[in-house]
Amino acid sequence: MLSGLPYSAEDMRLLRELNATKDVIHRYNALVPSQEEEKKAILKELLGHTADDQICINQPFYCDYGKQISVGKRFFANFNFTVLDEAPVTIGDNCFIGPNVSIYTACHSTDPVERNTRREWAEPVTIGDNVWIGGSVTILPGVTIGSNTTIGAGSVVTKDIPDNVVAAGNPCRVIRKLKANED
């Protein structure tokens, strides 16, 4: 799965891992929001890498495996953050994720006969440093979003987005380049 090669979504080992992660996610989402230390402890257990203790993911949060997710320093994600992490999802330092954002790495065939075999593959997603992802953005498999970039609310990111830009739309495209010192 992590190599990008096709795998069976019905593999019993993967299904056990998915269910174990769902149990951890259930514990996380059931915490009282003010239980900050307990939330951070669960996130450190769940995620593959957290750069520091300044991590906040508002509940509810959903992911498939968790361990393929890496977040940098001072990470914040708002409500209903969903990550299908069949491949690595790497998020840099000082990133802000708006509400209802989804990151997908799982890929499925467009051919219905092949799709019904439950064979799928996954492609990683990478987000640079100092990125703001607006509310209700969907990021598709294989995408890289450059550093110092803003993705406008409601965008569907289907292709790589470079550093130092504002991008928006469906499909998401660059609408403005930023000066090096502009936020």
Instruction: Determine the 3-state secondary structure of 3 from DSSP.
Output: coil
Contacts of 92 (CB under 8 A, 6+ apart): 72, 127, 128, 129, 130, 131, 147
Do residues 134 and 102 touch, judged by C-beta distance below 8 A?
no
Task: Judge whether 108 counts as a catalytic residue.
Answer: yes
Q: Which residues contact 168 (CB under 8 A, 6 or more apart)?
A: 134, 151, 152, 153, 154, 155, 175
Catalytic annotation, pick one of 16, 22, 26, 108: 108
Burial code (b: 16+ CB inside 10 Å, e: under 16) for 121-136 equals bbbbbbbbbbbbbbbe
The helix (run of H) or strand (run of E) holding residue 89 is strand 89-91
- Which residue type sits at 57? I
Which residues, in sequence order, are bridge partners of residue 62? 82
* Residues marked as catalytic: 108
